[in-house]
Amino acid sequence: MSSLSLKQRQQLKLITCFFDFDDTIYVPEFPETTKLNIEAIDRLRQRGYIVVVITARSYACLLMNMPDAPRHFDYIVANDGAVIYKIDGTTTPLVLYEDAMEDRLINRFQSKLKSLPIGEHAIVNYSGEKELDGIQPATRIYKIRYWTKDKRDGDAIYNLVRSEFKEELSAFIYPEVPYYRHHDISRLPWIVDPALNTAVDIYNVNTNKRTAVNWLLEHIEPQLPNNAAIYTVAAGDHYNDIEMLCNVDRSFVMEKGRKEVKALSGIQIVPNLHTAIDSVLNSENIVP
């Protein structure tokens, strides 16, 4: 297959790339790396590949650090898969999919939470894009984030989800979030308190990056020619990327990623995203 031209290969396979945002695309302590990552993403799209950013952030939080994000992606998956946007060139992206949390479930969980012997904590309700002009304010919550001052308190919240709400809710825990990352999360001033260093994100039970990837692929597939198929590439670094990385054709993990993620079978470990993208673009055997 190495003798095939790019046009012939693309007639056979549509390459769809799913990239985590934080520490994969956006590396705040190394702005030059971020710049090179974005330039590499643009090269992918120029070659006709579909590029998706898939993030735990809300769309609003994503734009806080990358205001021109809609210029660089075909789709944006926010809140770890709870919302999927199609970028169509207008000021308002098209919402293709959303999986909001029901108020009754949120209230029942918060009632249970009050019975836990945990210390001071703060709550962020990611209900949508209230900070952004041009986007309708959301009335439903996609994610709840709890910040705690003690990792044991974060573990207690996480374990409550896993023990009493495992059929309804899922959770990811982020222990010891670096201080430089705090300003990215919210405009609320208490987030900059370095004592609030453990975060727990809570979603509907079926919300995760793998579910979002599968949904989006099913959305794309009917638009392909009859002889075409989808080849998937993904890159990430954290626990919430694991299911996505294990369910695509080719996976990359950043060298600075969590050791449990780097230990996954079949993973390619790379120093940065633009190195991974160059590998994809230069490979002549990505199409079986």
Co-location of 108 and 180 in the same domain? yes
Residues 213 and 198 in one domain: no
Q: Is residue 71 part of a domain?
A: yes
Point out the domain boundary residue: 177, 204, 231: 204
Q: Is residue 1 part of a domain?
A: no
**Which segments of the chain are extended strands (E)?**
13-20, 50-54, 75-78, 83-86, 94-98, 121-126, 143-148, 169-174, 198-204, 229-236, 250-254, 268-270
| Average pLDDT in the chain | 83
Look at the alpha carbons of 156, 157, 160, 166 in this order and tell me if their dihedral is positive or negative: negative
Q: Are residues 141 and 91 in the same domain?
A: no
The last residue of one of the domains, among 204, 221, 249, is 204
Range of the domain at 57: 6-99+208-282
Mean pLDDT throughout 77-86? 93
Supply 277's token pair: 């993208």
pLDDT in tens, 133-183: 444 444 678 888 888 888 899 999 999 999 999 999 999 888 776 554 544
What is the value of pTM for the model shown? 0.85
pLDDT at 244 over 90: yes
Provide, rounded to the nearest whole percent, the portion of the chain with pLDDT above 70: 82
- Asked whether the CA dihedral 261, 264, 269, 272 is positive or negative, the reply is negative
Residue 288 lies in a domain: no
- Mean pLDDT over 50-56 rounds to 94
What is the count of structural domains for the chain? 2
Using the 3D structure, point to which of 151, 172, 204 is the last residue of a domain: 204
Report, as an integer, the average pLDDT of 59-85: 91
Confidence label for 29 from pLDDT (cuts 50, 70 and 90): confident
- What per-residue confidence (pLDDT) applies to 8? 53
Question: Is 287 contained in some domain?
Answer: no
Say which CATH number the domain at 256 has. 3.40.50.1000
Is 85 part of a structural domain of the chain? yes
Residues 121 and 89 placed together within one structural domain of the fold? no
Same domain? For 19 and 89 the reply is: yes
pLDDT tens-place string over residues 173-231: 887 765 545 444 444 444 556 677 888 999 999 999 999 999 999 999 888 777 778 89
CATH number of domain containing 191: 3.90.1150
